[in-house]
Structure 1
């Protein structure tokens, strides 16, 4: 066939014009649809020149027409390429053909990395077993280290050449164009594919990138970090942020498996890798700042949910990074909270508080953090949150309350900060938008710090009574606050005072029960405006009496939970039980009151009352 003679014509001609003409003819043919067939034919020939030009043609076709290949055709091509590559080492006569085929495999990876995940493991297994496996169905449990141990030197060289070719091709990419377009938020296929390619290569060579001192590896890590900072809000406008976060979380977890915080200074590569992780954390946290409320409200629901999930992914990254950097991260975000607070940068304050709260599970028992946390909780934060400053966004206020809730151990150790925190939380209960986070934080703080607060039980009871009389509490907040006060009452060491507190708590329940019975006598259709409309069920309009009855039962459950002895409490087996005997009558009286409340509700609300009672007890949120 005339086309098959083109490659050899380059060796037979001597005239420069003839060589140029032959090269042009070959280039034109490589652009034709028949070139795929020619390449396959050439790679089946026994001579090296034919195989070389066949591999070269595959490279040309992939670079020019990869987008026209279906996944099925691409998978078939990969199987052929690995077969030809394996055969070139079985019948090794020199590096010419294997080198070119390794370049062809690298080119395939650049264009179809999604079809060839874990390419090192897959190629090693194919070479070790002398057969081809589907890379997408290969089990991830296969240990690539053990597979590599079974390879002889030639097969190891075959794997190394492909890896080297891929690295060289990635390095040669036009960073200024592809990376620049991606960082500017270009959503075109080629730009997005570039980002996915970087991530795929990074995942495959994660440990090498982490430990290598090669400037090329540093450049790649810098590019991978840069993916996080590309333009646009994550998910809504930036599709590469989430996979980039996933890569860096994997990177950080792998590093945590290799070194500990104490080993970093003694491990040559670890300090540089940690510096890169901290830079990643900085970039990622800046990207999860919420847009202004009016802009966020215009996003569709999937983008809003996706953005929220991306923020959680960043917290996972932070927690992994904490194992490597220690309390340095807490100090960093504490400073960011203070900076944003001083600058009145409310959206940035929300981000910093969110990140600081996300580190609580890693550090809550570490007393070394108290100085950094104290700089936040003893700052003007509480006074600013309790102010009427309308510039402070609702989300910022809510996140700051969540921050308080996450560091209850700090307030246990630093009682001087406890009273200001609780004053802030109680002041916000009357705000419908803040009641939920405020009541939840009150319950967490009071339950954890009960032994520091029991002397103020009467003050808490008076505060609740005032809020209830002013009808400033919704149903859920009422339950949480009563549960919080009950946990404080449980810690009162003096039995008479503890019973007095319990008596007042039951009186609140009796008042609600009486109100429920009164409302039950109103005409059908009477509506009850439940404060803030935050209720577990929607019976306020249909049956206001039943609505309050169910609230009463849930509050009763909350009190019962609050009065339970904490699981971690110690029991003094030598303590005398004699003083308690004289209060048995009071305890029995409280029990009778509780039973009477339940019976009254059952009597008032008739034949369905048992179902309502069970529902009320079951649906109590408690926290």
Structure 2
């Protein structure tokens, strides 16, 4: 472009051009971030200035390629940002200028980046509205063929593209491909924008010319190493991506592009062209398989099963995971996913059968999954898809079942056999060399195999369960421990799938009648810890079996208690003991003495940690819970509490020896043991409660009778540690967990404490108390349900809690240490008082501080306090059955705070709040509209308030919105009306994203 003629402006002075060039060169040199940022700001101002057009033209004349690139970039930015400043004549002149620069640079050895950026500028030009450039590809080919800018006459046919392309140099042809790719990429990249839809028809008009170009350039496969072919494939790839987006929107037919597929497929057999082509077909198979015709898929199947393909599979099985083999594996898997129906139902077709064989071979490559074997997990995903297709077909098909189903089922069995071999644990000499990622990858593969087994049971039925059990017995007899572990792992995976109790009992009886438990306890056998661990896990997977077959409990429990002595097994064994006792508690009451003796021995072992003690003591408490009378429970509970007192004594010794960490550890252990007992001794969910029974004798037993002293002892332990070290989060949490299970109980018990215990714990908390939010949540839990306590005591407790919350709020304000979690928990606690304890709430001194705090939290940046405050007001503003005096107090509170609440809600819905918070604000707004007579007036004033955040809506829009809200009165649809108003207030930039 002649800088003297463009837009009639004065020519650029040489001095200013030199300054710009210097800035551009400095931009591409290493330097401090602040300096680079300043240079960028200066150059951006130049680009957006009125002289930016002339600067772009002048910079392209430079001999520095970085400067040239910046010149091309400036043209692109000006076209996208300042197009409206051009007249029709200027636009035509700009097109000629851009093409002139292409012609000057294309054969001059200029870097690809500069020329591609010019192509991007031409693409941007083409996508501007009201342009006369209707056949850009043909026009560019003509200009490159002539070596000059030829007139843009879209109505003239001229010579064919084929004849002109054959005369062009390689760089010129690449320019055409880059421009064509740019067209597809630009629209595809912004395909989610509503504005882009109108470009589909315009860009689609270039398909015919693009196909004509590609039909010529893709034959470059005959020239090994040709850049032209790679660019052609990449261009084809981008146009398929564009076609996918357009096809979804039903704006494009696929047939014009499909004739190019066979040309691309030929390159799969060419080593030099394989990489770029395999990427194309893998992507199409994964993201747009509909593009490929049945003939294309069959041709691909033939290529995937030829001798070269079989050679690659052999290399993969040997552990050769180079670029070629891995890309082939991904192509094969992608084909499997795309053609899964044909593969399942037409396995008699030679190519399909061979592909299934190869996909099965991918599960048999050397190495461990996720470590040496990088393809096994992806192959397993295909077989999951395959199995799901079989299951869908099984349920949708009418009798008789399809003839192909039998062979397909057998293939799934082969897959499971291959997976079984892959999940076998390596020796410790191998695993010690793995890093964390490799360990995680191998573990993920095993979990995926679990998923496959669970899915396949629907298809294969009891046969697979019985086959695995038989394999486990074989491995046990031959002492092949890695095989045994893999088989037990598979049986564990099927635990939730097998519904036939008789079948489970029949098969597992053979397994548990074998030497399994005896061998696992035999220290003379070199059994890997993982095998023993998986055997222990099996007990937790089939608890109902032991509940139905109590004769297996003694050897199993003996095995578990022996396993507690092994550091690698202790935790999983303790968990198994806990789950077994919980499930089989009624069958174990006669063994309580033996359990207590076992714990006596266990507690003396230094190797036993707190987790094991907690689980085992909870297991014993679960058995004690089902004893017939409270007096029967007292003795065993007393012994268990004595064991806890040992931890208390140990903590005292540690404190006297100035061993602070040991002191805290003993305290946590004691409290967690009590919490475990409390949880385990709770009434099971399946127990029928006799609501007519007289609970008074039981209540007296634990509050005034023989059990009162034991309950007081438990309370003393909790108070001691909570009072001494409530800055320790584990101590605080465990203390609360001792109390919580009793809140759900309908009958008194050792761990059903009077409300004064919880009140005392809450009132003892300060801002320095760890997990203060958890303490307040515990108070909420008590208010939510404590059926044993009297109404008077509960009201007193609620009042005490609220007074303490107000004190905490005041303390946070004084210390300027607002904790969002504590704020949220305190507000939630207040909300739990509505409506049951509303009478008490409104009479608490300084209750106005609660209302003010919740209003502040509605606008706070932290999400949890905001939600808690919204829930509080949604509960408070509703109509409640109260005395006249209470109604008057509540009405006065609403008159004072209702207008403020509406101002805040309207301000948030009017644009201050985020999209994700609208449902949170909707709830209190709906309740206000439904329950408060003055709601319309309050909301109208809020809409007219000076702090309303948006200028995008006027009085009419506000009035219409208010009318809709009032008409709906909290009904369905209110949230949508609120969302639409928020969008309108935010402005048009949000409308595309949320409409």
Selected match of 1:474 from 609, 628, 636 = 609
Q: How does 1:95-244 map to 2 (within 5 A)?
A: 101-107=260-266, 110-118=278-286, 121-123=289-291, 159-172=293-306, 174-212=308-346, 213-244=348-379
TM-aligned CA deviation for residue 184 of structure 1: 1.2
Moved more, 458-467 or 106-115: 106-115
CA distance in 2: counterparts of 1:69 and 1:76, whole angstroms: 11
SS at match of 1:363: coil
Q: Does the alignment pair 1:509 with 2:644?
A: yes
559, 565, 587: which one aligns with 1:430: 565
Deviations 1:531-578 (A, max 9, x none): xxxxxxxxxxx4322221111011010110110112222334566658
Corresponding position: 1:410 with 2:569: no
| 2:170/2:228 contact within 8 Å kept | no
Q: Does residue 75 of the first structure (1) align with residue 237 of the second (2)?
A: yes
Structure 1 length normalisation: TM-score? 0.75
Q: How does 1:362-401 map to 2 (within 5 A)?
A: 362-363=497-498, 366-401=501-536
Aligned ranges for residues 543-622 of structure 1 at < 5 Å?
543-573=661-691, 580=698, 583-584=701-702, 585-602=705-722, 606=724, 608=726, 613-617=731-735
Asked whether the 8 Å contact 2:725–2:731 carries over to 1, the reply is no
The residue number in structure 2 matching 1:286 is 421
- Name the count of aligned residue pairs: 527
Which range moves more in the overlay, 258-267 or 446-455? 258-267
SS of the aligned residue for 2:533 comes to helix
Match of 2:490 in 1: 355
Using the TM superposition, give the Cα deviation of residue 289 of structure 1 relative to its aligned residue in structure 2, in angstroms.
Answer: 1.0
The equivalent residue for 2:922 is none
- Contact kept, 8 Å, 1:109 with 1:166, in 2: the verdict is no
Task: Describe the shift of the 1:600–1:73 C-alpha distance in structure 2 as closer, same or farther (beyond 3 A).
Answer: same
| Distance change in 2, residues 1:263/1:444 (3 Å) | farther
Structure 1 residue 51, shift from structure 2 partner: 8.9
Q: Is the 8 A contact 2:453 2:494 kept in 1?
A: yes
Q: Residues 359-399 of structure 1: CA distance to partner in whole angstroms, max 9, x if unpaired?
A: 11212663312222122222101001111125111111111
1:301-380 matches, cutoff 5 A: 301-363=436-498, 366-380=501-515
Aligned mates of 2:229, 2:548 — CA distance in 1:
62
1:280 counterpart SS class: helix
Matched-pair contact (CA < 8 Å) for 2:561–2:573: yes
In 1, the alpha carbon distance for the partners of 2:289 and 2:536 equals 48
Q: Which residue of 2 is the match for residue 259 of structure 1?
A: 394
1:617–1:223 distance in 2 versus 1, CA, 3 Å: farther
* Shift in alpha-carbon separation, 1:326–1:87, aligned structure 2, 3 A: closer
1:407-449 Cα shifts (integer Å, max 9, x gaps): 1111111111111110100112122222111111111111111
- Structure-2 residue corresponding to 1:134: none
Deviations 1:250-282 (A, max 9, x none): 111222222149979622221111111111111
Give the 3-state SS of the residue equivalent to 2:356 in structure 1: helix
How many angstroms does 1:462 deviate by? 1.9
Q: Do the aligned partners of 2:540 and 2:576 also contact (CA within 8 Å) in 1?
A: yes
User: Conserved in 1, the CA contact under 8 Å of 2:718 and 2:735?
Assistant: no
Distance 1:394 1:476 in 2: 19
Kindly indicate whether the alpha-carbon contact (under 8 Å) linking 2:214 and 2:236 is maintained by their aligned counterparts in 1: no
Give the root-mean-square deviation of aligned CA atoms: 3.8
Q: Does structure 2 retain, via aligned residues, the 8 Å contact 1:519–1:545?
A: yes
Distance in 1 between residues matched to 2:631 and 2:287, nearest whole Å: 73
CA deviation after TM superposition for structure 1 residue 163, in Å: 2.8
Residue 594 of structure 2 corresponds to: 459
Specify whether residues 262 and 469 from structure 1 end up closer, same or farther in structure 2 by C-alpha distance, changes over 3 A only.
farther
Q: Deviations over 1:8-65 (max 9, x none)?
A: xxxxxxxxxxxxxxxxxxxxx9xx968976998xxx9999xx9997387155469987
C-alpha separation in 2, matches of 1:273 and 1:421:
39
Give the Cα–Cα distance (whole angstroms) in 1 for the partners of residues 397 and 238 of structure 2.
Answer: 49
**TM-score between the two structures when normalised by the length of structure 2:** 0.49
Query: 2:581 and 2:396 mapped to 1: Cα distance?
Result: 34
2:567 aligned counterpart, secondary structure: coil
What is the SS of the residue equivalent to 1:182? Answer: helix
What is the CA-CA distance between 1:600 and the residue it aligns to? 3.3
Query: Which blocks of at least 5 consecutive residues in structure 1 are unaligned?
Result: 1-28, 91-97, 124-157, 527-541
Give the distance between the partners of 1:99 and 1:62, measured in 2 at CA.
Answer: 24
Kept after mapping to 1: 8 A contact 2:174/2:231: no
Do the aligned residues in 1 keep the contact of 2:388 with 2:455 (CA within 8 Å)?
Answer: yes
Deviation at 1:327, TM superposition (A): 2.0
CA contact (8 A) 1:99 1:161 kept: no
String of CA shifts for 1:198-254, please: whole Å, max 9, x gaps.
101001111111111323212211111111001111111111101001111111122
Q: Secondary structure at the match of 1:237?
A: coil
Is contact 1:261-1:323 (8 Å) kept? no
Show the 5 A alignment for 1:18-37.
Answer: none
Q: Larger RCO: Structure 1 or Structure 2 (Cα < 8 Å, ≥ 6 residues apart)?
A: 1
Do the aligned partners of 2:289 and 2:338 also contact (CA within 8 Å) in 1? no
Shift of 1:607: 6.3
Contact 2:218 2:229 in 1 (8 A): no
Q: Match of 1:174, SS?
A: helix
**Are the structure 2 counterparts of residues 319 and 62 from structure 1 closer, same or farther at C-alpha, using a change threshold of 3 Å?**
farther
Of 405, 409, 425 in structure 2, the residue corresponding to residue 270 of structure 1 is 405
Q: Secondary structure at the match of 2:366?
A: coil
1:104 is displaced (CA, Å) by 2.2
Partner of 1:54: 216
Secondary structure in structure 2 of the residue aligned to 1:391? coil
Distance 1:59 1:559, change over 3 A: same
Conserved 8 A contact 1:199-1:224: yes
* Distance verdict in 2 for CA 1:511–1:70, change over 3 Å: farther
The structure-2 alpha-carbon separation of the partners of 1:619 and 1:307, relative to structure 1 and needing over 3 Å to count, comes to farther
Does the 8 A contact of 1:109 with 1:116 survive in 2? no
Bigger CA drift: 249-258 or 473-482? Answer: 249-258
2-structure distance, mates of 1:71, 1:616: 64
Distance 1:81 1:485, change over 3 A: closer
Q: 1:339 to 1:557 in 2, by over 3 A?
A: same
Structure 2: gaps (5+ residues):
1-165, 178-205, 247-251, 267-275, 741-995
CA deviation digits over 1:182-210, x for unaligned, max 9?
11111111111111111010011111111
Change in Cα spacing, 1:80 to 1:62, as seen in structure 2 (3 Å) is farther
| CA shift in 2, pair 1:609/1:57, >3 Å | closer
The answer (yes or no) to whether the contact 1:81–1:105 under 8 Å persists in 2 is: no
